[in-house]
Amino acid sequence: MAGTITMYGADWCGDCTRAKALLDREGVAYTYVDVEADEAARERAIEIAGRQNIPVIVFDDGSHLVEPSNPELLAKVRG
């Protein structure tokens, strides 16, 4: 998938680690934003998701996924 993907997450989050590993395996470029280190980013992730769950993954088409399963994330990045 071309374009910019932003993942809001935290190092302690198992779902974030899993999603990052999947994106890395698929060779998908993304920007990782640590919501623990950046309060404004934490608020932005909550605003996007409508709740406090992470990861929040925002795609270049404006869509987003919150705590996606591997199959959900693969379907999105493989198009």
User: Domain containing 23 — which CATH number?
Assistant: 3.40.30.10
What's the mean per-residue pLDDT of the chain?
Answer: 94
Determine the pLDDT at residue 79.
86
pLDDT tens digit sequence for 52-74: 999 999 999 999 999 999 999 99
Which pTM value belongs to this model? 0.93
Residue 62: both structure tokens together: 């404006």
Determine the pLDDT at residue 3.
61
Q: Establish if 70 belongs to a structural domain.
A: yes
pLDDT tens digit sequence for 1-14: 446 899 999 999 99
Question: Which distant-in-sequence residues (6+ apart) come within 8 Å of 40 by Cβ?
Answer: none
Q: Establish if 54 belongs to a structural domain.
A: yes
Q: Establish if 1 belongs to a structural domain.
A: no
Residue 23 vs residues 43, 59, 75: alpha-carbon distances, Å: 24, 12, 12
Containing domain of residue 24, as a range? Answer: 6-78
- Which residue, among 49, 38, 30, has the nearest Cα to 11 in the 3D structure? 38
